[in-house]
């Protein structure tokens, strides 16, 4: 009598390159390498080398890691996870760990032994010092108390309001909740919806477009290819700027009002100020 045996194939962990290729070629957002290469301004051959695990095709480790991070962000992957896996494959993590261990050995010191006699001597010395210089301690405490009281008096009358706040006749600030825009396209997916109640700037795309939001230092707040109907709620931060892969496909709403298009269809536009006042100066759509 033959017994049926279940054969379980071992699940192999994907390499960094396989993760990138899998993210690009599966799911509902399948994309071509050539398209992404143009958006990221990275040679198509380098992206292909990353997917194939042919990392040494790229000249330096710093470029390998930099390209992989940008590629992971573009594909919606966790860049830190991809970079860590890539470092392990390149042998960089092992070297860093050995360097950290060496540093710990160098910094390791013999612990200071404190006994009862040492604590007692320290206490007596401190007490004698305070007795000799008590007037300075009292003066310092009095000065600190004076500064605290003065600060409370000076700033208690100042009332700060939120950027979306109104002040009524009685002088009380009332925070206004930003109205949800009347989007022109059926909403497909919302990004950073936690900002929805306070976001003064909201984006929606009518056609596929790459959208990247950066702060003044070049730190990326958001980077993703949005498909028709996708919505992004902009955080209320100063000096944010945007890059649009297809600027003509992006609807920009400021305080619930749609402004005019920022450029022509199928056109890339960079360093676009996301300041509400700067966007309003473009004018509102009719």
Tokens of 224: 């993703």
Q: Class of 16-93 per CATH?
A: mainly alpha
Domains in the chain: boundaries: 16-93, 190-280
List the structure tokens of 182: 């009347």
Burial 233-266, CB ≥16 within 10 A → b, else e: bbbbeeebbbbbbbbbbbbbbbbeebbeebeeee
- One digit per residue, the tens of pLDDT, for the chain of length 286 reads 444 444 333 335 888 888 888 889 887 778 888 888 888 889 889 889 888 988 888 878 888 888 888 888 988 889 899 899 888 888 887 555 655 655 554 455 555 566 677 777 777 788 777 777 778 878 888 888 888 998 888 776 544 444 444 444 544 444 455 678 999 999 999 999 899 989 999 999 999 998 999 998 889 999 998 999 999 999 999 999 999 999 999 999 999 999 999 999 999 999 999 999 999 998 998 7
Smallest CA-to-CA distance from 176 within 154, 191, 161 is with: 161
pTM, whole model, 2 decimals? 0.43
């Amino acid at each position: 009598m033959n017994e049926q045996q279940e054969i379980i194939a071992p699940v192999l962990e994907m390499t960094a390159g396989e993760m990138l290729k899998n993210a690009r070629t599966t799911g509902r957002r399948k994309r071509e390498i050539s398209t992404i290469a143009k958006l990221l301004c990275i040679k198509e051959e380098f992206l292909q080398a990353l997917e194939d695990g042919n990392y040494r095709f790229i000249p330096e480790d710093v470029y390998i890691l930099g390209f992989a991070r940008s590629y992971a962000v573009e594909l919606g992957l966790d860049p830190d996870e991809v970079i860590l896996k890539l470092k392990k494959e390149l042998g960089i993590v092992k070297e860093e760990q050995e360097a950290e261990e060496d540093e710990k050995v160098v910094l390791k010191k013999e612990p200071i032994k404190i006994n009862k006699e040492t604590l007692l001597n320290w206490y007596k010395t401190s007490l004698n010092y305070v007795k000799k210089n008590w007037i300075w301690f009292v003066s310092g405490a009095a000065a600190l108390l004076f500064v605290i009281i003065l600060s409370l008096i000076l700033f208690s009358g100042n009332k700060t309001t939120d950027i979306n706040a109104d002040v009524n006749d009685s002088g009380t600030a009332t925070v206004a909740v930003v109205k949800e825009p009347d989007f022109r396209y059926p909403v497909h997916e919302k990004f950073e919806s936690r900002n929805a109640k306070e976001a003064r700037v909201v984006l929606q795309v009518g056609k596929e477009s790459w959208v990247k939001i950066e702060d003044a230092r070049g730190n990326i707040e958001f980077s993703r290819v949005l498909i028709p109907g996708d919505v992004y709620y902009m955080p209320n931060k100063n000096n944010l700027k945007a890059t649009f892969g297809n600027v003509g496909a992006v609807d920009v709403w400021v305080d619930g009002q749609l402004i005019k298009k920022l450029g022509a269809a199928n056109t890339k536009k960079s360093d676009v100020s996301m300041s509400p006042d700067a966007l309003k100066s473009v004018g509102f759509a009719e």
